[in-house]
Amino acid sequence: MKLHHLKFMALVLILTLLPSSCVSTRVEASPYQDSVENLECRKESSWSYYWGLKQKRIDANPDVSGNACPCREGALSWVVVKTSFTDFLLSSVTLGIVNHRTATYGCARPQNGEVDMDN
């Protein structure tokens, strides 16, 4: 009888904690910019582990050294964070320990009207 009670309490604890664990992908840049004439699109992969306790930061700020693809003006136009069905399965099988997201974002065009969008 006691073993049944312990199993029930463990199940209740797991069901309570599972929905409350969350993983977020944050894309950072400088404050807003009004000139959104043209956009360029960047795609970054983001992995997080241990329910978000260890995660890769996606940074679009040009002031951060070593940034792979910064927004030159420091201004984002839009951000989309997607999870594929495969990512969902991976997260389900590992009980949320391993999570993958793909963040796609567009940089605002430079205010001085440059046409070069290579950053």
The residues near 113 (Cβ < 8 Å, ≥ 6 apart) are: none
Does residue 49 fall inside a structural domain?
yes
Does residue 9 fall inside a structural domain?
no
CA dist., res. 83 & res. 101, Å (int): 5
Does residue 16 fall inside a structural domain?
no
Does residue 11 fall inside a structural domain?
no
How many domains does the chain divide into?
A: 1
Q: What tens digit of pLDDT does each residue of 1-51 get?
A: 687 888 888 887 776 666 554 556 666 555 455 544 446 677 788 888 887
Q: Return the closest-CA partner of residue 103 out of 35, 57, 52, 53.
A: 57
Does residue 8 fall inside a structural domain?
no
Does residue 86 fall inside a structural domain?
yes
Does residue 117 fall inside a structural domain?
no
Q: What tens digit of pLDDT does each residue of 70-115 get?
A: 666 667 777 778 888 888 888 888 888 888 888 888 777 666 655 5
Structural domain including 34 reads 24-108
CA dist., res. 8 & res. 3, Å (int): 9
Does residue 44 fall inside a structural domain?
yes
Q: Return the closest-CA partner of residue 56 out of 32, 78, 26, 36.
A: 26
